């Protein structure tokens, strides 16, 4: 069952977020800091407070097995770009013990329904090249519209 998260869910959400952080640290140790300190732990409370976005969880038998944190983006027009409103998936994670069982799809369906209900034009997310979740995102209908490239200078 996917639902909007409440402050009492913060600890369980952070267990999953810590897992995601570990994946990022392992994949890009020069970019991401090891550990899961107070600032990272407390970041979830901005999403639980609502306003600019939300956190949602998938719960099974009273246990949170997946979570997603979403930003509502409302960009005004500027000299380079038209105005736009969209959702951005900031973080998503399914407990590794529950992967490939439809939890990620249920979270995505929740995000899609919320975005449509609120009249957003699209949903964006970004994924690091080392993350094997790209196939899942593509199966959910996401397509690449922008790429970041780098050149390491040693």
Q: In angstroms, rounded to a whole number, what is the distance separating the alpha carbons of residues 75 and 82?
A: 8
Domain layout of the chain by residue ranges: 2-139
CATH of the domain spanning 2-139: 3.40.630.30
Q: In angstroms, rounded to a whole number, what is the distance separating the alpha carbons of residues 153 and 89?
A: 31
At 37, the pLDDT band (50, 70, 90 cuts) reads: very high
The pLDDT value recorded for residue 69 is: 98
The pLDDT value recorded for residue 72 is: 97
**What's the mean per-residue pLDDT of the chain?**
94
51 has a pLDDT exceeding 90: no
Residue 117, Ramachandran bin (φ over 0: left; ψ between -120 and 50: alpha; else beta) = alpha
Tell me if the pTM is above 0.85.
yes
């Amino acid at each position: 069952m996917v639902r909007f998260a409440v402050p009492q869910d913060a600890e369980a959400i952070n267990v999953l977020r810590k897992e995601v952080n570990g994946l990022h640290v392992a994949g890009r140790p020069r970019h991401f800091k090891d550990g899961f300190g107070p600032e990272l732990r407390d970041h979830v409370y901005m999403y639980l407070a609502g306003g600019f976005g939300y956190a949602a969880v998938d719960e099974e038998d009273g246990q949170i097995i997946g979570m997603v944190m979403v930003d509502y983006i409302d960009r005004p027009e500027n000299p380079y770009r038209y105005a736009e409103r969209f959702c951005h998936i900031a973080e998503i994670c399914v407990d590794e013990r529950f992967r490939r069982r439809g939890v990620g799809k249920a979270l995505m369906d929740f995000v899609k329904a919320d975005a449509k209900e609120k009249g957003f034009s699209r949903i964006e997310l970004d994924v690091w090249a080392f993350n094997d979740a790209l196939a899942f995102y593509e199966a959910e209908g996401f397509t690449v519209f922008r790429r970041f490239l780098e050149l390491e200078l040693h």
